[in-house]
């Protein structure tokens, strides 16, 4: 990571919950109203039981995102697709530990293509599975729902995994991200456990629309405030 790395609270709205007919406007709206990252969920209908969008969409929305474009690949295989996502301008490219037999090589290839390497862990994968890979990653994404669909309920048993990973990470410059069911009531739980990047889909996008985005700003601010308060109290 760069020298600007910090563990401040970062909110990453997931465009899976946005208006698919207005992606560019939706990305601009959240970028202009407090989003630090924009999270892009790529699903192949094979690794997960849903189909979303791919590299062409990422390339199309990149000019509309003023911050970090955080691309989360819920696909398999990953390796043949890495270069195409590098060409989209993705800043972070996250692959699932469970999606292929050679995650070490996948992470190497992501960094080799000039992106930050993210490692996602499904709810059934223990924290210690990430231990041998800590020096190869820039982001660890803890899935607090089973991947594949937006709008699912937060899995509370994943909070201890976040805490375990925070302890493992130590002083390494690795962002600890949570994805799934994040809102002002659940963000404090994982914030207190050590998370610093909060992916929120419906918790942001249900509060507005691209041409009336003030609700997006309020939702982002509410999640941020709840997470920051929990971290201060921890």
Catalytic residues: 41, 179
> 93 pairs with which residues across the strands?
71, 117
Tokens encoding 119: 């490692």
Contact predicate 142/176, CB 8 Å: yes
Contact predicate 154/201, CB 8 Å: no
Sign of CA pseudo-dihedral 41, 44, 50, 52: positive
Q: Which of 72, 77, 44 is nearest to 58 (CA)?
A: 72
Question: Rounded distance, CA 87 to CA 39, Å?
Answer: 17
Contact predicate 220/198, CB 8 Å: no
Question: Rounded distance, CA 179 to CA 200, Å?
Answer: 7
In angstroms, how far is the first alpha carbon of the chain from the final one? 26
Cis, peptide link before residue 169, omega less than 30° from 0: no
Kindly state the DSSP code that residue 153 receives in the 8-state scheme.
P
Q: What is the dihedral of CA 157, 160, 37, 75, to 10 degrees?
A: -60
Kindly state the DSSP code that residue 115 receives in the 8-state scheme.
S
């Amino acid at each position: 990571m760069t020298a600007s790395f910090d563990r401040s609270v970062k909110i990453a709205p997931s465009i899976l919950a946005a208006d698919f007919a207005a992606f560019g406007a939706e990305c601009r709206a959240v970028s202009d109203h407090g989003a630090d990252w924009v999270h892009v969920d790529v699903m192949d209908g094979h690794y997960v039981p849903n189909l979303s969008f791919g590299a062409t969409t990422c390339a199309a929305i990149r000019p509309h995102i003023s911050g970090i474009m955080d691309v989360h690949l819920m696909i398999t295989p990953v390796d043949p697709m890495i270069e195409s996502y590098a060409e989209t301008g993705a800043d972070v490219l996250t692959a699932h530990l469970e999606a292929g037999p050679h995650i070490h090589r996948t992470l190497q290839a992501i960094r080799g293509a000039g992106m930050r390497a993210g490692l996602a862990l499904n709810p059934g994968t223990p924290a210690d599975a990430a231990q041998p890979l800590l020096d190869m990653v820039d982001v660890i994404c803890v899935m607090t729902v089973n991947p594949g669909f937006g709008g699912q309920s937060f899995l509370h048993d994943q909070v201890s995994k976040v805490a375990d990973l925070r302890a493992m990470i130590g002083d390494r410059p690795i962002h600890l991200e949570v994805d799934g069911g994040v809102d002002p009531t659940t963000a404090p739980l994982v914030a207190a456990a050590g998370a610093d990047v909060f992916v929120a889909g419906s918790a942001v996008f249900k509060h507005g629309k691209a041409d009336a985005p003030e609700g997006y700003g309020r939702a982002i601010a509410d999640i941020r405030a709840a997470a920051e308060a929990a971290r201060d109290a921890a």
